[in-house]
Structure 1
Amino acid sequence: MQLVVGGAYSGKRKLVKEKFPDSPWISAYENEQLTNWKQTYESGSSPLITEGWEEWIRQEWDKSGELDVVREYFEAIIDEMQRVEEQRKQSMVMIMLEMGRGVVPVDKDERAWRDLSGWVLQSAAARAESVHYCWHGLSRKLK
C-alpha cells in the first residue's frame, strides 16, 4: 500500500497519474463511493487509486456523529484493503489531504472532521509500505 499526502493542489494527483497512468481511480470528488473499492480493484490489473478520503470521512461523520465509530470504520476499511492487496500482490495507492497544518477550527464539527481525517491519515501512514509528501509540486519520500 502506498500513501501520497499533501495539502490541496500540492501535486498529489499529478504525481500519481505520472507513476500509474493506466490505473483505475475511485474518487470522492467524482461522487464515487469508497465501498466500491473492492469491485474496482479486483476487476483491474493495475494499482487501484483512491482519493477524497476527507470527503468520505465527512459523509460518515455527518451520518454517525460518533468519533470512535467513524474512526474504527475507516481503520477497518484500510485493514481490509491491506489484506486484499497482500493476497493479490497488487499495490493500492491512497491519496489523502493534509488538513489544517495545525490550525484548529473554532467550530466543533469542523474540528472533529479535521481530527478524524488526521487519525485516518495516521492509520494509513502506519500501514503503508511507502509514504510520499507533496508540496508545491515536489514530492519527498518519508517512508
Structure 2
Amino acid sequence: MPNISYQGGCLCGWIRYAAMGPADNPHTCSCRNCQQHSGALTATWVEFPRANVTWTGPGGLPATFRSSDYSSRAFCARCGSSIGALDDAPTVALLLGGFDQADQPALAPTAHSFTDGCPAWWKINDPTQGH
C-alpha cells in the first residue's frame, strides 16, 4: 500500500497534523475512556507510527491528559477539540473526525472494540462480529 499523507486538525485550526500512511488499525471503540474523550458512544480511530505524524499547525503539539498507564489523550487547548491518543508505544492514534478527508477507503474501520460499552439500543454493524 502506498504512503499517503493524511491532513487534519482541530475545530479552530490551532492544532494541525500531517500523518504519513499507510494508515494502521482503523477501528471503532466504545470503551469508557473513548466515550469520555470524544463525547460520543463510539470513537473512530486510525493509527500511525509516531515518526510519521508531524504537527503542522501554529499551536504545535496538542495538549495532553494522561488517561491510562500507557496513553495520553490529545486535544486542542484553544478550542477543546479531541485530537487523538499519544501512546507510550511509538503510536499516535488520531480520531477520524479530525481528518480533512475522512471518507478515504483506507481509513474505513475494520473492527470494533469494547462493544459491551454501548447501550443495548446501540446497533453496531461490525463486519468482524458477523452481523
Q: Shorter-normalised TM-score: what interval?
A: under 0.3
Higher relative contact order (CA 8 A, sep 6+): 1
Structure with the largest fraction of strand: 2
Structure with the largest fraction of helix: 1
Q: TM-score, normalised by structure 2?
A: 0.26
Q: TM-score, normalised by structure 1?
A: 0.24
